[in-house]
Structure 1
Amino acid sequence: MCAKAYESSGGPDAGAAIVAVGGYGRGELAPYSDLDVVLVSDEGVDVGEVAGEVWYPLWDSGSRLDHSVRTMTEMVAAADADLKVALGLLDVRHLAGDPALTLRLRTTMLAHWRRGSRDRLPALRDLVRTRHELAGELAHLSVPDVKEAEGGLRDATVLKALVATWLVDVPHVELERSRGALLDVRDALQEAAGRGTDRIAPELWTDVAHRLELADARAAQVHVRELGRRIAHLSHLTWRRVDAVLAEPARIRGPRRPRMERIAPGVALSADEIVLDARARPADDPLLLLRAAAEAAERDVVLAPATAARLARDSAPLPTPWPAEARRLLVRLLASGRGLRSVWETLEETGALPAILPEWQRIRLLPHASAIHRFTVDRHVVETCVEASALIRHVTRPDVLMVAALLHDIGKGGLTEHSVAGEPIAREIAERMGFDPAAVDLVARLVRWHLLLAETATTRDPDDPATVELVVSRLESVEALDLLLALTEADARATAPKAWSSWRAGLVRDLARRVGVALHTGSTLPPIATEDVVVPPVVRAGGLSIVVDPAVDGSRVRVVAPDRVGLLADLAAMFALARIPVRAARAWAQEQYAVSVWEVGEPGLDAAVLRQRYDGVVDGRPDAARRLRPAGGAGLEPAVVVRPEASDQATVLEVRADDRPGAVYLVCAALARLDVAVRSAHVDTVGPQAVDVFYLQEASAGVLSDVRATEAAHAVRAALSEPAGS
């Protein structure tokens, strides 16, 4: 039609052409799309009279026309002035006139886009973010917009523009398959609506399903939301790669060879992506997928999709029950905060998630029955984990909190009330994960009663003793109450901003306070550690004894030495400086000697090498205080609490902080500087959090005064918080 109109107008054969741009240029017209065309000419070629002769026949045909007339120079200037114009001109297609001019135009626009891409991509990213904020996510909207929403056709077009920069790539087959399927959805939608629209109203789902030859409206919703999620995943991944490229200086010449840094067994970091290192053996290491995912999430970097897909295909299955290290890795992944979102998305899109949680399919892409929810059930669960990760300082069992957050809605989708249906499923999963019976009961109890505090606080009289008795009968312990309070807040925050208003939060916390008073039965902290050991002759002579025994996934190190203030700090530095992870430790005094047993995550340790490292720490080689200072950042603040009710023999200090090399050293060194003796210690790592209990006395023996206890707590908190260089 355009060619015939141009020919009839008497347009020149050289120096002028009609080109299609945007969706028309890509050949993606929907039934009610506009025709975006430009009459372009070389400088000095007059096409003023031709334009009118061309447009009138097109208008008379009933076509919806979006047209313009520009010279080549004006085309470049328009692209420079408007990002949307620049994107549209990347898809120039010849319609009529001089094909050589069209070819020059296309080549010029692509070259211009590539040359200026580093400067223009930040603005493009802002444009995309603004659109996402306004339009929402295709996978979660009740009335999804297949073009403008995140994961829609507009994002697919932007991805093609990012590939055109030559800075990054995207899986072409997957993108084109998803884009083509979403174009089919738009065609079916507009045919069903009888007008040009990109929004699928609820009453149109059945007709759209019929036109797409899908079973029913529910199947059509799943199909569309899955396409949106897949394109959104490709978009997130590609933009992360764009950020990594833009953070580097432009390369003048030569191939790009990213450096690989081994960061965990079988796992490496390369160009801000987690990949497998050359020594990885997926068939021999069932924990490799969890390890790679946890590292990616904690570092907030990309889990390379090819890596996840390979691990899903080639990894040995996790044994049943899971080993303790598998649980630790899962909890690290779940408690990683915002880094969880993209990694979980990659696990889903690559088919790796069933290897970790096959029950996830029950809730995948499942819409919520309540309109207050802003996400589908599966995404809501991920958001609940993200919210719960910020609350782990409030509980002693962050592993139970995070797994309960993951499973709290696992019973949805059936006819039975979801908390009732979810309890036995959660119990089975927790048992498979290898939790001890008490922890399994806690997880199941939290899933069963995860609505209890919110519903009771907003529907019952808090002053009625029966209200408190009801909650007490369901929870039975302070530990369960603390966990449920954290889960309730995380669940509400993940639902919608209004679901955790100050009014609702106040009601829930007031109820929890009343229940806590009724449940409180004294300290739940571990007792002072003690165990009679045979003191080796070398220790009686004033020396130090280190014995290493193999343990599951690591080693057990027993140290006996003459007791002194600062000994525990030096031993902790010995491990931390060698980057040997301490999973648990117990320390106690036996007569004038100090005994400590360390469970560490490094197999095959040599006692002689450890002794050399210890001697170096004592001699100040290297400077442990300088090397092990906190790195700083936006992590959770440590929780340091004096528990006066826990012991009559010592002052008890409870510390909850990030599990990182040097945390135990920082605590013990701070206490040593105050000349405070650690008479007993219980150091434990639960997921990403260290939960440590120290029984303190003055060096001359005796409980610390209130002033000294406060001073000790302040010093420990400062040591764990103050970043290096401050």
Structure 2
Amino acid sequence: MTIAERTERTAAADRLCREAYEKAGGKDTGTALVAVGGYGRGELAPYSDLDVVLVHDDDLDPGELAVAVWYPLWDSGSRLDHSVRSVSEMIDTAGADLKVALGLLDVRHLAGDPNLTLRLRTTALAAWRRSAKERLPELARMVRHRHELVGELAHVSVPDLKEAAGGLRDASVLKALVATWLVDVPHVELERGRQALLDVRDHLHAATGRPADRVGPEVWPELAGRLGLADAEAAQRHVRQHGRRIAHLSRMTWRRVDAVLARPRAVGGRVPQLTPLARGVASSSGEVVLDGRVEPATDPLLLLRAATEAAERDLVLAPATVSRLVKESPELPDPWPEEARHLMVRLLAAGPGLLAVWETLEETGGLDRILPEWDRVRLLPHASVVHRFTVDRHVVETCVEASRLIRRVARPDLLMVAALLHDIGKGGLVEHSVAGEPVARGVATRMGFVPRDVEVIGTLVRWHLLLPGIATTRDIDDPVTVDEVTSKITSPLTLELLAALTEADALAASEKAWSSWRAGLVGALVRRAAASLDHTPGHAAPLETTAQLPVPPALLDGSAPVAVQVEPSDDGSRITVLAPDRVGLLADVAGALALHRVSVRGARAWAQGELGVSQWEVSDPELDATVLRQRLEAVVEGRVEVAARLRKPDTRGLDPSVAVRPEASRQATVLEVRAADRPGLLHHVLAAVAALGMTVRSAHVDTLGPQAVDVFYLQELGAGGLADDRAASAAHAVRAALA
């Protein structure tokens, strides 16, 4: 089936319609027979309807002409969808019914008065352009509703060539959006995908002998033969690849429509505004682009940085930006630097914003640079009917589900990477968890994880099916059952991560895969296994004894309120701050760093005699110690009010977790805070504690992907740990500061 065959099929239908009109005595003026919809576009499939309308001038009654036209068409055996309308009725109906308005954009003359058809077409097109800004929100709602009902052509188990996201209906909508003159679409790419899907639909009609749009699993082998492809899997990949491309174009175009509709009316020439997001990356009109300050050839992390910012902020990752970075930026070193690994985990844990960004990376070749192993599962169909998506989309959905669970685990970075790699072994003859383990270990090693973390990731991938398999088929009260789990999962950390991965994997598979019954069984099994491993909750860092640091003379003689030292580290800088110790000192330092837009990855703080000492690991490779010291002095001396200049952290999404860990120390009260890593987070936490008159005996700040895990050892001024009521007050104050 080819374009030429569709053209011939359409031409035969046109001859049939013209003959029917002429035999019925149709005039050359005042009435016209027109084609709309797919027939209007000249894209008849073997079993498509003939969508035709008999149009007439407002002051003309077509009488019995319509019936005389329809009968020979019915007698020919054609499937007919017909109506009779005046020009005014057509325009009025289009104004009230969006589907009619879209159909009129494809009006094509068949017989009768060509001037009447031309007038109808030009009037309808002018009305569409004139009312586009008012009507596009309604069209967007219709499209979203259809996508929610039908799913995505690229990923659902039984795809619908017409109605699914990325199907033929979306291609027609894209052409309608282009007709508004508000946005444009890459025409060559759209037509390539559209014609490919039209070919598949023609073959589907021929194979099933009916006007089918849904491709059932039993049809793929015959479609493969008709398309000249090797097997059913190749046919699926062919169809899904084109569907994914159209879906990507659709999403990109609708985001640009949103930007156009939200944009105030421009006066004269308007230069796009760039809003800085991160080093080398900015946003413009809702898209993440390069800001021109960093040459792509000098920074291999730009692609990850742009993708992460786009996903976390739910912005469009501009395809042109990715294409340029793929072409110009150097390969990531092997192993990756810490910042690259940190960015990758943030990207994976971005939540729903990951979906569109990941799709853009796939469509532009960016993913081949970051994760070449992805090709193993790209558009791979699932063998199990429990899965609603292809393997690749299931993996991304698993990451989205896992991102909602990161507050429950001590190492969200390991959870997110395991979620990404848990099905990487699918597609071969070896059981996928067995095949995937060495691949996952290799990827984790390349990402720069230390050997013990690589071991955890490999174990999670190898045994990601363990818990549901045992929980639903064995007696969880039998010690032998628990031993079967603990013989393979030997650490509390790995067990905790495996429980979260199991839940995320099931939720991503289908709604029925994580029932309350199954969740209860798995939860009970995990509790028994944790008890067997002598698991103690809480992940507070130990109260460390830190080496004494030399005190700068300016601090000893009082000529400077604060001393600052900046040293380069492997992939950033280490900032050391010393100042006379007092309640609120650490909050001031954290606030000053936030105002300086320093990205903190980790920190430690302790007391050294009468001084408070803190060391901060930051991702910024070039910091001016003098400028930083001046800012710190201004804050410490009270010349700059941090709270007035620092926005509260953005806590949309997951709620922060604040917990007191009474078992973690005998010398102090340990407060553990887990929250989204955002500028100003540390200052708000520490300021809340300082406002209660508490001192921070020791602080242990770590950033694991998108989550800050901050542990503070609190004491009363001049005393030891907090009383229970004071500890509760501290936890409440921190929660309130982050709410």
Q: Shorter-chain TM-score category?
A: over 0.9
Q: Secondary structure at the match of 2:99?
A: helix
Q: Which residue of 2 aligns with 1:209?
A: 224
Moved over 6 A (4+): none
Q: Which residue of 2 aligns with 1:84?
A: 99
State the Cα distance separating 1:609 from its structure 2 match.
1.5
User: Which residue of 302, 310, 315 maps to 2:324?
Assistant: 310
Matched AA of 2:226: R
User: Which residue of 714, 719, 724 maps to 2:737?
Assistant: 719
Q: 8 Å contact 2:31–2:56 — kept in the other structure?
A: yes
Q: Which residue of 1 aligns with 2:12?
A: none
Q: Which residue of 1 aligns with 2:389?
A: 375
Q: Which residue of 2 aligns with 1:558?
A: 576
Q: 8 Å contact 1:374–1:495 — kept in the other structure?
A: yes
Matched AA of 1:248: R
Q: 8 Å contact 2:651–2:738 — kept in the other structure?
A: no
Q: Secondary structure at the match of 2:697?
A: strand
Q: Give the Cα–Cα distance (whole angstroms) in 1 for the partners of residues 661 and 483 of structure 2.
A: 27
Go from structure 1 to structure 2 and tell me whether the alpha carbon gap of 1:46 and 1:280 turns closer, same or farther (over 3 Å shift). Answer: farther
State the Cα distance separating 1:708 from its structure 2 match.
1.3
Segment drifting more, 60-69 vs 616-625: 616-625
Matched AA of 1:491: D
Instruction: After superposition, give the CA deviation of every residue in 1:449-493 in whole Å (9 maximum; x if it has no partner).
Output: 112222222222222222222222222222112111111111111
User: Which residue of 431, 450, 455 maps to 2:464?
Assistant: 450
Instruction: After superposition, give the CA deviation of every residue in 1:128-164 in whole Å (9 maximum; x if it has no partner).
Output: 2232233232223333221122221111111111111
Q: Give the Cα–Cα distance (whole angstroms) in 2 for the partners of residues 338 and 345 of structure 1.
A: 12
Matched AA of 2:37: G
State the Cα distance separating 1:206 from its structure 2 match.
2.3
Segment drifting more, 686-695 vs 292-301: 686-695
Q: Give the Cα–Cα distance (whole angstroms) in 1 for the partners of residues 487 and 644 of structure 2.
A: 51
Q: Give the Cα–Cα distance (whole angstroms) in 2 for the partners of residues 203 and 633 of structure 1.
A: 48
State the Cα distance separating 1:176 from its structure 2 match.
0.7
1:586 aligns with 2:604: yes
1:536 aligns with 2:543: no
Q: Which residue of 1 aligns with 2:566?
A: 548
Q: Give the Cα–Cα distance (whole angstroms) in 2 for the partners of residues 457 and 13 of structure 1.
A: 77
User: Which residue of 576, 586, 593 maps to 1:568?
Assistant: 586
1:320-331 alignment to 2 at 5 Å? Answer: 320-331=334-345
User: Which residue of 148, 153, 156 maps to 1:141?
Assistant: 156
Matched AA of 1:384: T
User: TM-score with structure 2 length normalisation?
Assistant: 0.94
State the Cα distance separating 1:33 from its structure 2 match.
1.1
Q: Secondary structure at the match of 1:319?
A: coil
RMSD: 1.8
Q: 8 Å contact 1:628–1:666 — kept in the other structure?
A: no
1:140-179 alignment to 2 at 5 Å? Answer: 140-179=155-194
Q: Which residue of 2 aligns with 1:272?
A: 286
Q: Which residue of 2 aligns with 1:724?
A: none
Q: Which residue of 2 aligns with 1:36?
A: 51
Q: Which residue of 1 aligns with 2:141?
A: 126
Matched AA of 2:445: E
Segment drifting more, 481-490 vs 303-312: 303-312
1:93-104 alignment to 2 at 5 Å? Answer: 93-104=108-119
Q: 8 Å contact 1:337–1:390 — kept in the other structure?
A: yes
Q: 8 Å contact 1:38–1:67 — kept in the other structure?
A: yes
Q: Which residue of 1 aligns with 2:700?
A: 682
Q: Secondary structure at the match of 1:645?
A: helix
Q: Secondary structure at the match of 2:58?
A: coil
Segment drifting more, 85-94 vs 270-279: 270-279
User: Which residue of 360, 363, 366 maps to 1:349?
Assistant: 363
State the Cα distance separating 1:91 from its structure 2 match.
0.6
Q: Give the Cα–Cα distance (whole angstroms) in 1 for the partners of residues 685 and 404 of structure 2.
A: 22
Q: 8 Å contact 1:420–1:448 — kept in the other structure?
A: yes
1:251-266 alignment to 2 at 5 Å? Answer: 251=265, 254=268, 257-266=271-280
Q: Which residue of 2 aligns with 1:363?
A: 377
Q: 8 Å contact 2:401–2:507 — kept in the other structure?
A: yes
State the Cα distance separating 1:253 from its structure 2 match.
6.1
Instruction: After superposition, give the CA deviation of every residue in 1:657-715 in whole Å (9 maximum; x if it has no partner).
Output: 11111111111111111111011111111111111111111111211112211111111
Q: Give the Cα–Cα distance (whole angstroms) in 1 for the partners of residues 294 and 551 of structure 2.
A: 42
Q: Secondary structure at the match of 1:114?
A: helix
Q: Secondary structure at the match of 1:91?
A: coil
Go from structure 1 to structure 2 and tell me whether the alpha carbon gap of 1:472 and 1:95 turns closer, same or farther (over 3 Å shift). Answer: same
State the Cα distance separating 1:524 from its structure 2 match.
5.2
1:22 aligns with 2:11: no
Matched AA of 1:594: G
User: Which residue of 286, 299, 308 maps to 1:285?
Assistant: 299
Q: Which residue of 1 aligns with 2:717?
A: 699
State the Cα distance separating 1:434 from its structure 2 match.
0.7
Q: Which residue of 1 aligns with 2:199?
A: 184
Q: Secondary structure at the match of 1:461?
A: coil
Q: Which residue of 2 aligns with 1:68?
A: 83
Q: Give the Cα–Cα distance (whole angstroms) in 2 for the partners of residues 677 and 332 of structure 1.
A: 32
Q: Which residue of 2 aligns with 1:526?
A: 541
Q: Give the Cα–Cα distance (whole angstroms) in 2 for the partners of residues 241 and 633 of structure 1.
A: 27
| Corresponding residue pairs, total | 720
Instruction: After superposition, give the CA deviation of every residue in 1:260-300 in whole Å (9 maximum; x if it has no partner).
Output: 22322221201001112223422222111111110100000
Go from structure 1 to structure 2 and tell me whether the alpha carbon gap of 1:588 and 1:28 turns closer, same or farther (over 3 Å shift). Answer: same
Q: Give the Cα–Cα distance (whole angstroms) in 2 for the partners of residues 436 and 719 of structure 1.
A: 35
Q: Give the Cα–Cα distance (whole angstroms) in 2 for the partners of residues 237 and 713 of structure 1.
A: 43
User: TM-score with structure 1 length normalisation?
Assistant: 0.96
Matched AA of 2:641: D
Q: 8 Å contact 2:233–2:381 — kept in the other structure?
A: no
Q: Give the Cα–Cα distance (whole angstroms) in 2 for the partners of residues 287 and 30 of structure 1.
A: 48
Q: Give the Cα–Cα distance (whole angstroms) in 1 for the partners of residues 577 and 42 of structure 2.
A: 74
Matched AA of 2:443: I
Matched AA of 2:328: D
State the Cα distance separating 1:244 from its structure 2 match.
2.2
Q: Which residue of 1 aligns with 2:655?
A: 637
Go from structure 1 to structure 2 and tell me whether the alpha carbon gap of 1:62 and 1:470 turns closer, same or farther (over 3 Å shift). Answer: closer
Q: Which residue of 2 aligns with 1:626?
A: 644
Matched AA of 1:420: V
Instruction: After superposition, give the CA deviation of every residue in 1:537-561 in whole Å (9 maximum; x if it has no partner).
Output: 2222343211112223322111111
Q: Give the Cα–Cα distance (whole angstroms) in 1 for the partners of residues 456 and 513 of structure 2.
A: 25
Segment drifting more, 9-18 vs 518-527: 518-527
